[in-house]
Structure 1
Amino acid sequence: MNFLASKAQLRASFMRWALFLVPLIVLLGFAAGQLGSPQTVWFQSLTKPAIFPPPAVFGIVWGILYVVIGLALALVVSAWGAHGRGLAIIVFALHFIGNLAWTPVFFGMQNMWGGLYVLIYAVVTLIAVIAVFWQVRRIAALMLLPYLAWAIFAGVLNYQFIAENPDGGVTEGSGAAIEVTL
């Protein structure tokens, strides 16, 4: 006997992990999204960059990406005995905290620079995740490439918001009003 588990056992392990991790990743993404909203007066008052896609695109893209992220993570988590598996899970967790932090920082705290720094952290750590996933399951690393592309786009978009709104926009509750002189 020169294998630890049959292919059927490995598929079953992946399916169990996928059935747990995909909904968990989607739920965490949804929960983080509740900590800030593009529906605020502040965001609505910002000048939108030319590359800003229609708002519906964000929900569709993130929904798909979170499912793919969960599947990629399930491939790695179910790779029992694979060299680097534990490190890959830790690096992913550290990365995903940054992913989840962007919405509360950008929308909740209305901090565009903070959002950009969070995205830089997310992109750098995502590159690390892809590298360690590559050591465990190459397909899992490849599955994260669209996510990396979207994270880079998000960083560019975040920077464009800063460039278009150098004053940071009108903050909610600031009592901003138009001054009229007679």
Structure 2
Amino acid sequence: MANWPAIGSIILPNVGGWVNGLYFAGQIRSEEGKTWYDNLKKAPWNPPKWVFGPAWTVLYSSMGYASYLVWEDCGGFTESSVLPLTLYGSQLALNWAWTPIFFGMKDYKLAFIEIAVLGVTATATTIAFVHYNRTAAALMLPYLGWLAYASSLSYYVWKNNPKPDPRITEIKDEKTQ
């Protein structure tokens, strides 16, 4: 018999990642050639673009399963699950918010600040999880490591790329019409 709460907990975080990925895919890859993202000065330790999708799928799945383990050990949505699952939901919302800030707004400074806050919130989530289920906390550790890595990439982009001037984009848009 399928464990629907576990399956839903694994799928839920991935949905936000998939939605962001589909919505902003044109910013990252283009059949016409290079995108603005390709022209950014990126850290020498920046991985190839294809790494992000599989990495986030694994990370979202493991953090989702971790949330399920805590939910299960707390007996569902109960008084004891409020803190760890609220922290989990908060860090998940922050996680999903980074992509529109970086790719939509192209605000590299705000994206770095946001991912730093995300790192703190994800760490607090992991600490809260350890009180209920050590396996759940362990499942969060690769995510924390990736967030530290992603934060370094975000910081590098912020410090080495000027924020795009929206007036230039507007002028280009008028010329193409």
For normalisation by structure 1, the TM-score amounts to 0.80
1:121 paired with 2:117, answer yes
- Superposition deviation, residue 83 in structure 1: 7.8
**Counterpart position of 2:91:** 95
RMSD: 2.3
**Cα displacement (A) at 1:32:** 2.6
Q: Does 1:32 align with 2:28?
A: no
Q: Which residue of 1 aligns with 2:54?
A: 60
Spell out, residue by residue over 1:39-92, the C-alpha distance to the aligned partner (whole angstroms, 9 max, x if none). 373322212221111111111100111111111111011113488422111111
> Higher Cα Rg: structure 1 or 2?
1
Is 1:21 the counterpart of 2:17? The answer is: no
SS at match of 1:45: coil
Q: Tell me how far 1:170 sits from its aligned partner.
A: 6.6
Q: Which structure: greater helix fraction?
A: 2
User: Amino acid of the residue matched to residue 48 of structure 1?
Assistant: K
Identity %: 28
Q: Tell me what 2:107 maps to.
A: 111
1:155 maps onto 2:151 in alignment = yes
For the residues of structure 1 that align with 2:17 and 2:49, how far apart are their CA atoms? Answer: 17
In 1, distance between residues paired with 2:164 and 2:41? 8
Shift >6 Å, 4+ stretches: none
Q: Distance in 1 between matches of 2:123 and 2:23?
A: 26
Residues 1:69 and 2:63 aligned together: yes
In the alignment, structure 1 segments of 5+ residues that lack a partner are 1-11, 177-182
Structure 2 unaligned segments of length 5 or more: list them: 173-177
Distance in 1, matches of 2:74 and 2:145, equals 29
Tell me, in whole angstroms, the C-alpha distance in 2 between the residues paired with 1:66 and 1:115. Answer: 19
- 1:35 touches 1:104 (CA, 8 Å); kept in 2? no
What amino acid is aligned across from residue 39 of structure 1 in structure 2?
A: R
State whether residues 43 and 153 of structure 2, in contact with CA within 8 Å, keep that contact through their aligned partners in structure 1. yes
Q: Which amino acid in the other structure matches residue 153 of structure 2? A: L
The number of equivalent residue pairs is 163
